[in-house]
Amino acid sequence: MSEVAIKVENLGKSYRLGSIGSKSLVDDFLNLFGSKQKDKPDENLIWALSEVGFEINKGDAVGIVGKNGAGKSTLLKILSRTTAPTTGSIKIKGKIASLLEVGTGFHPELSGRENIFLNGAIMGMSKSEIKRNFDAIVEFSGVSKFIDTPVKRYSSGMYVRLAFAVAAHLESEIMIIDEVLAVGDIDFQKKCIGKMKEVSSSEGRTVLFVSHNMASVKALCNRGLFLEGGKLRLSGSIEEITEAYTVANKGLVETTALAFREDRTGSGKVKLVDFYVEDVVGNQIETILTGEDIVFCFSLQNGPEKSRNIDFGLNFFDPDDGNMGVLYSSYQNVFFEAEPNELLYIKVVVPNFPFTIGTYKVGTRILVNSEESDWLLGGAGFIQVENGDFYGTGNIGFSHTHMTNFLGRWHINQEQKK
């Protein structure tokens, strides 16, 4: 028997497009005097959220996933009461606190101590609650030495650490957490994620967790909601949700018929005609998780003559067209052969995919007997990468600050140490 903590029914939120200005003053007056303008459908309305309904049980940790524009932030805003819904209702049992931002209301001239109280109170803590947690907050933030210094003198790292520390010690039955809140240097980020885990697993607490990162959603949540285009597409166990999300995000690989592309050079003896990406099980995917084993699949059309010594190369470009890495089959002494008019399917498994969140262009080049046969100048397509569990530890690292991850084997050389 589980108790319902949050009940959302038929929730919708519409925004009006265009400017709110002098025209709306006229409209307002017309509305005031009862002109029946409201009867005609307003084509300037867009629905950021519509007909969303779900129930969340007490103690669940719910991951909310969806692409940008899917309505995640709108849902969070309504839940945290910073904006009102247009339709529907939400019923909540228990004290709710939302962490959409850390350090809200921090005043640069006030000391760390004063800001802890101010920020805590803004987020709904009572004075006694803050007092009770004060030492833990200071301890967690690691800025105890500077607690009576105005926060404008803090380094940006100290500032966000203090801000997160306050947020992390909110005592409420329902917590809404936005994952971008994991801040600071790598150690502190780990601490943040750890704290979020602790928060979400603590007894009887309900957590709503928003993230782009399937790895952390999987790690923190047991249930999930998948939003798409302002509607609730799926609600279920976290495995179902992350699966559905990954499968659904197929939109980004270009499916222009490669065979008909004109922007290419080379003899054309062997041409690339198709490109897609699979997971190791053989499902076609369009969103890649960092750290997963990815299969890049290419279809090559051979010309009327038999071709030998086919060397296939691929590379990845960052958004500025910088080359991120090249791999030719010949580097690994692999060459292919094709019968006349044969359609050749080449698959290359890239284990532990190293690139972090972002969209990357995939380039290809085919050589036959070391002569260029086909080179698509505009690239073969794009891949969309989301952060995954690259290190196999659930840690994400500084995924936004670099594009490539690598692993190391760590040792202490006992001989040299003495």
Partner 1 sequence: MNLDPKENWSLTIFPKSSPFHFKFKEFWQYRDLIILFVKRELVPTYKQTVLGPLWFIMQPLLTTLVYSIIFGAIARIPTDGLPQLLFYLPGIILWNFFNSAFMKSSGTFLANVHIFGKVYFPRLILPISGLLSSFVNFLIQLVLLIIIMVGYYISGTKFSPGIHLLLCPVLLLMVSFYSLGLGMIVSAFTTKYKDLSHFLAFGSQLLMYATPIIYPTSIVPAQFKWVSFFNPLSPIFEAFRYSFLGVGELLATRLLVSFLVGLAIFYIGLVFFNEAERTSIDTV
List residues binding partner 1 (CB under 8 A): 4, 7, 15, 20, 24-25, 28, 77-96, 98, 100-101, 104-105, 107, 109-110, 114, 117-118, 121-124, 126-127, 150
User: Would you say 249 and 103 are in contact if contact means Cβ atoms under 8 Å apart?
Assistant: no
Q: C-beta of 95: minimal distance to partner 1 in Å?
A: 7
Cα dihedral angle (165, 168, 172, 175), rounded to 10 degrees? 140
User: Would you say 318 and 360 are in contact if contact means Cβ atoms under 8 Å apart?
Assistant: yes
Residue 413 C-beta-side C-alpha neighbours within 13 Å: 3
Residue whose CB is less far from partner 1, 166 or 215: 166
Which residues 6+ apart lie within 8 Å of 68 measured at CB? none
Residue whose CB is less far from partner 1, 22 or 416: 22
- Helix-then-strand count for the chain, H and E: 9, 21
Closest CA to 97 of 67, 133, 71, 138: 133
Q: C-beta of 131: minimal distance to partner 1 in Å?
A: 11
Q: C-beta of 214: minimal distance to partner 1 in Å?
A: 26
User: Would you say 226 and 66 are in contact if contact means Cβ atoms under 8 Å apart?
Assistant: yes
Residue whose CB is less far from partner 1, 15 or 398: 15
Q: C-beta of 9: minimal distance to partner 1 in Å?
A: 10
Q: C-beta of 115: minimal distance to partner 1 in Å?
A: 9
Q: Determine whether 117 is exposed, middle or buried from the number of CB atoms within 10 Å of its CB (0-12, 13-18, 19+).
A: middle
Residue whose CB is less far from partner 1, 118 or 248: 118
User: Would you say 275 and 362 are in contact if contact means Cβ atoms under 8 Å apart?
Assistant: yes
What 8-state DSSP symbol labels residue 256? S
| Ordered DSSP codes for 61-125 | EEEEE--TTSSHHHHHHHHTTSS--SEEEEEE-S-EEEESSSSTT--TTSBHHHHHHHHHHHTT-
Q: C-beta of 98: minimal distance to partner 1 in Å?
A: 7
Residue whose CB is less far from partner 1, 150 or 394: 150
Q: C-beta of 270: minimal distance to partner 1 in Å?
A: 56
Residue whose CB is less far from partner 1, 117 or 382: 117
What is the pairing mode between strands 223-228 and 61-65? parallel
